[in-house]
């Protein structure tokens, strides 16, 4: 348990002891919420503002502080002292060090709070015939990280790639392929060759508008299950996925299911039928929509004039399918905030259909990616493909390793871990809603608050632990009074908070909280490392510092894992 909670428990006990008849007193969690960190560290480690109790107790804050102070007698946890209306606490540092380090195991921070609950996560969800670019990094890595976080908290998780594999553009692509394409071209050119076909289609269709009908006809064939159309389309899909899987493998990202939009082709009838039965469908300019004017939103389009279903229809079908199949506790959609209206609309439709679990659907929105101040655009050449970015990052990592540690074993592998780590860390370093402006030099920066910096702190701990083991292990009893200095205490404070940070990151769908926390741990440990001799002559002090190093290594490694970074033992 972290120190704050222990002190909150002390305050609670003192409160009931000093004022046994009082009503409406805060509970331990509320007390912890009221506690502050004194502005001046010489005043103590924590402060409790007693004026928050003045109302229920009908007493002046200094009197309350006196009474509480008199009722607290637990020097093993902390010393209390009155300062006006505040009750200040000075932790028993030695005890805090012992308790914190005794609690830290390699799986420290994990819990069973999610036992028996399933979380579905819809992330990455790329579109067929498009190359994987930096605009896809956020959804892919936020989703991947959230999946690991929920796993760690005992939930069952289902990662779903809701592929964009349905739409008239695929009919056009097939049309173009049949007229001007060849198998070799697509096999060699991959997604780029498909895009080229699509571009060609539009150029030709300007001259010959009849092509549009041909494209539509091919799309209809896909939908009707025509053998030739499906064979070509499935092949396009396979080629796109081969590309994507290569990138996923580099990033360590996995899915439990690839269920794209087309997967729901035979699951639409139910949606339409239910909407009709519940009198929610109305006609509007020939189309079928759900009116949302009472909710101050434009209508949600369900069926086009020609009877074709839409993106929202497919999301409704997917939600029903997921609820039936996985019985989820929550279903998260990690999708850019531009789609905010789309999600609000169809979440509302589901609610109107009478499904109370509509409230368990969450749009986990994130900011937009731009490139050096301008929007991404393939046409204008402002586009960065993910494989290129990852390759360049790995190359740079390798160059640095060659320069700084040419004798490192397995350089190529470490360069992968570090280079890719830098990119992933950068993706998860700010609050997800913030827009990201991509600059090459920033993405390839390995100094300051970056993934490699944190990885390096971890490798430093590993190296120190190897040296300690060579020096005969830490057979001595740790002397925890050797960890009472400010630097060690700051590391301990951060380590003790780790579980709470993971929990909050899950609650707010915000992996960046973990990114920030492991960075702070790395910084605090580095400071400790520079100010203190770890392998000291005093065996007991040494053993305690080695134990702190080991705990730091474990927590950083876990934290990095949760945000999708590897932690090399040597760099
Ligand atoms: N493929 C879509 C896009 O690229 C994202 C799909 C997100 N998931 C969903 N269930 N709508 O915009």
Question: Could you give the 3-state DSSP secondary structure of residue 421?
Answer: helix
Task: Give the pLDDT score at 473.
Answer: 63
Q: How far is the CA of 491 from the centre of ligand 1 (A)?
A: 41
Ligand 1 mutation target, pool 335, 340, 362, most atoms within 8 A of CB: 335
Q: How far is the CA of 510 from the centre of ligand 1 (A)?
A: 20
Task: Give the pLDDT score at 380.
Answer: 81
Using CA atoms, how far apart are residues 192 and 185, in angstroms rounded to an integer? 10
Using CA atoms, how far apart are residues 155 and 152, in angstroms rounded to an integer? 7
Question: Could you give the 3-state DSSP secondary structure of residue 445?
Answer: coil
316 in contact with ligand 1, CB cutoff 6 A? no
Q: Which atom of ligand 1 is nearest to the CA of 136?
A: 4
Which pTM was predicted? 0.94
Is 411 tagged catalytic?
A: no
The count of other CB atoms within 10 Å of the CB of residue 475 is 7
333 in contact with ligand 1, CB cutoff 6 A? yes
Task: Give the pLDDT score at 3.
Answer: 86
Ligand 1 mutation target, pool 121, 139, 160, 162, most atoms within 8 A of CB: 162
261 in contact with ligand 1, CB cutoff 6 A? no
CB burial string 29-62: b at 16+ within 10 A, e below: eebbebbeebeeeebbbbbbbbebbeeebebebb
Please state the φ and ψ torsions of residue 12, each to the nearest 5 degrees.
-60, -45
122 in contact with ligand 1, CB cutoff 6 A? yes
313 in contact with ligand 1, CB cutoff 6 A? no
Q: How far is the CA of 58 from the centre of ligand 1 (A)?
A: 56
Start-end of H helices in 311-377: 311-326, 340-352
164 in contact with ligand 1, CB cutoff 6 A? yes
- How many residues in the chain? 571
Q: Which residues of the chain fall short of a pLDDT of 50?
A: none
Q: Which of 4, 5, 117, 130 is catalytic?
A: 130
Task: Give the pLDDT score at 87.
Answer: 96
Is 329 tagged catalytic?
A: no
321 in contact with ligand 1, CB cutoff 6 A? no
Question: Could you give the 3-state DSSP secondary structure of residue 569?
Answer: coil
CB 563 within 8 A of CB 511: yes
61 in contact with ligand 1, CB cutoff 6 A? no
Is 267 tagged catalytic?
A: no
């Amino acid at each position: 348990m972290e120190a704050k909670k222990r002190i909150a428990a002390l305050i609670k006990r003192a409160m009931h002891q000093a004022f046994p008849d009082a009503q409406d007193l805060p509970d331990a969690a509320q007390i912890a919420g009221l506690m502050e960190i004194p502005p001046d560290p010489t005043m103590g480690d924590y402060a409790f503002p007693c004026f928050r109790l003045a109302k229920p107790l009908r007493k002046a804050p200094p009197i309350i502080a006196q009474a509480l102070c008199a009722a607290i007698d637990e020097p093993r946890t902390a010393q209390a002292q009155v300062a006006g209306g505040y009750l200040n606490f000075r932790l028993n540092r030695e005890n805090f060090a012992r308790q914190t380090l005794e609690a830290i195991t390699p799986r420290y921070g994990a819990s069973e709070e999610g036992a028996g609950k399933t979380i579905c996560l819809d992330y990455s969800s790329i579109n067929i015939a498009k190359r994987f670019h930096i605009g896809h990094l956020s959804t892919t890595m936020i989703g991947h990280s959230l999946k690991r976080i929920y796993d760690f908290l005992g939930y069952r998780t289902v990662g779903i790639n809701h592929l964009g594999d349905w739409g008239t553009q695929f009919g056009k692509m097939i049309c173009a392929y049949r007229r001007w394409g060849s198998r070799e071209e697509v096999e060699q050119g991959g997604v780029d060759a498909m895009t080229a076909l699509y571009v060609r289609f539009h150029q030709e269709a300007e001259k010959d508008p009849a092509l549009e009908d041909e494209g539509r006809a091919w799309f209809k064939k896909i939908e009707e299950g025509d053998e030739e159309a499906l064979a070509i389309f499935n092949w396009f899909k396979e080629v796109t996925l081969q590309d994507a899987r290569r990138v996923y493998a580099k990033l360590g990202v996995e899915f439990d299911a690839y269920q794209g939009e087309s997967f729901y082709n035979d699951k639409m009838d139910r949606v339409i039928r239910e909407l009709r039965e519940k009198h929610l469908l109305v006609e509007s300019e020939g189309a079928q929509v759900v009116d949302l004017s009472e909710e101050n939103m434009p209508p949600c389009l369900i069926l086009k004039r020609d009877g074709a279903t839409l993106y929202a229809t497919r999301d409704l079908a997917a939600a029903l399918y997921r609820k039936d199949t996985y019985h989820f506790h929550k279903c998260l959609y990690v999708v850019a905030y531009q789609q905010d209206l789309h999600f609000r609309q169809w979440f509302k439709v589901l609610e109107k259909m009478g499904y109370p679990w509509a409230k368990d659907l969450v749009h986990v929105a994130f900011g937009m990616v731009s490139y050096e101040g301008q929007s991404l655009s393939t046409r204008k050449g402002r586009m960065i493909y993910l494989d290129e970015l990852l390759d360049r990052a790995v190359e740079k990592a390798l160059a640095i390793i060659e320069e700084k540690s040419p004798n490192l074993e397995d350089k190529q592998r470490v360069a992968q871990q570090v280079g890719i780590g830098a990119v992933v860390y950068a993706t998860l370093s700010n609050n997800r809603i913030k827009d990201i402006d991509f600059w090459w030099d920033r993405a390839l920066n390995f100094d300051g608050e970056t993934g490699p910096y944190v990885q390096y702190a971890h490798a430093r701990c590993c190296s120190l632990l190897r040296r300690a083991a060579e020096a005969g292990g830490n057979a001595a009893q740790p002397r925890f009074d050797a960890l009472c200095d400010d630097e060690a205490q700051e590391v301990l404070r951060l380590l003790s908070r780790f579980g709470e940070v993971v929990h909050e990151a899950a609650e707010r769908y915000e992996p960046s909280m973990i990114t920030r926390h492991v960075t702070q741990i790395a910084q605090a440990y580095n400071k400790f490392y520079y100010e203190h001799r770890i392998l000291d002559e005093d065996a007991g002090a040494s053993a305690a510092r080695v134990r702190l190093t080991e705990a730091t290594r474990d927590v950083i490694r876990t934290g990095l894992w949760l945000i999708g970074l590897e932690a090399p033992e040597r760099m």
